[in-house]
Chains A and B, each alone.
Chain A
Amino acid sequence: AQSVTQLGSHVSVSEGALVLLRCNYSSSVPPYLFWYVQYPNQGLQLLLKYTSAATLVKGINGFEAEFKKSETSFHLTKPSAHMSDAAEYFCATSTGANSKLTFGKGITLSVRP
């Protein structure tokens, strides 16, 4: 069975600071990994995905994530936070193109002026 762990429920950073949102996964097979962003009262928007190609994945809005098999991690980073990055972020995993997604509980990112 797959699972995703997102430690902590809330991260707060200053505008211009590094953003680091952690995601660890558990999977018996090579995983597909995703980061989604959700703004209040909206649906989820795909930020980036890892599907066994390059381990460093670049996404939209300046975000990127690195797949580390030895650490079973897929942490999301952005060098410089912007006020518009304030949202909830979800990490998710699946085992292939036609399989179901398993989501983490999400992390709320706040950005201080």
Chain B
Amino acid sequence: DGGITQSPKYLFRKEGQNVTLSCEQNLNHDAMYWYRQDPGQGLRLIYYSQIVNDFQKGDIAEGYSVSREKKESFPLTVTSAQKNPTAFYLCASRLNTDTQYFGPGTRLTVL
């Protein structure tokens, strides 16, 4: 069953902790993306990767880090430097076309 999976669905973090959100795809897509969604603000791009072992900052990369060691995986780490991390995080992927396909999302809450 092909698709994009994100885990966990819900994540709670204490202030000062780093957390890593998982994104996996078995669609053989080249490009992968991480977005942050806040109420009334749409989606904002955090990081993206066009190929393995390469990634670029998006519009709001501060306080986040990523890696792309495998084509299928693009984990996002929310570091303690991110001052307001509570949000809904969406991962997407794209083959060599114009359309991005989205995972189900992870809701991160800072306690």
Chain B, residues 14-58, CB within 8 Å of chain A (1/0): the string is 000000000000000001010000001111110010100000001
Chain A residues, CB < 8 A from B100: 101
- The one of B6, B90, B96, B98 that contacts A44, using a Cβ cutoff of 8 Å: B90
Task: Tell me, yes or no, whether A26 is within 8 Å of chain B by CB.
Answer: no
Return 22 A-B CB contacts under 8 Å, by A number.
Answer: A36-B102, A41-B88, A41-B105, A42-B104, A43-B4, A43-B6, A43-B102, A43-B103, A43-B104, A43-B105, A44-B90, A44-B92, A46-B101, A51-B98, A97-B96, A97-B97, A98-B50, A100-B48, A101-B45, A101-B100, A103-B43, A106-B40
Chain B residues, CB < 8 A from A94: 98
Chain B residues, CB < 8 A from A49: 98-99
> Across the two chains, which residue of chain B brings its CB closest to A97?
B98
**Cβ of B41 and Cβ of A105 under 8 Å apart?**
yes
Chain B residues, CB < 8 A from A51: 98
Chain A, residues 22-39, CB within 8 Å of chain B (1/0): the string is 000000000010101000
Task: Tell me, yes or no, whether B107 is within 8 Å of chain A by CB.
Answer: yes
- Interface of B: prevailing SS: strand
Instruction: Report the interface size class on chain B.
Output: 20 to 34
Complex-state Cα separation, A97 to B99, whole angstroms = 8
Complex-state Cα separation, A17 to B51, whole angstroms = 45
Instruction: Report the interface size class on chain A.
Output: 20 to 34
With A97-B96, A100-B48, A100-B58 already in contact, the answer to whether A90 and B42 are too (CB < 8 A) is yes
Complex-state Cα separation, A42 to B90, whole angstroms = 9
Chain A residues, CB < 8 A from B92: 44
**Cβ of A105 and Cβ of B102 under 8 Å apart?**
no
By CB atoms of chain B within 10 A, which of A41, A49, A94, A104 has the most? A41
Chain B residues, CB < 8 A from A55: none
Task: Tell me, yes or no, whether A96 is within 8 Å of chain B by CB.
Answer: yes
CB distance from B90 to the nearest CB of A (A): 6
> Across the two chains, which residue of chain A brings its CB closest to B107?
A41
**Cβ of A96 and Cβ of B98 under 8 Å apart?**
yes
With A41-B107, A42-B104 already in contact, the answer to whether A32 and B42 are too (CB < 8 A) is no
Chain B residues, CB < 8 A from A42: 104-105
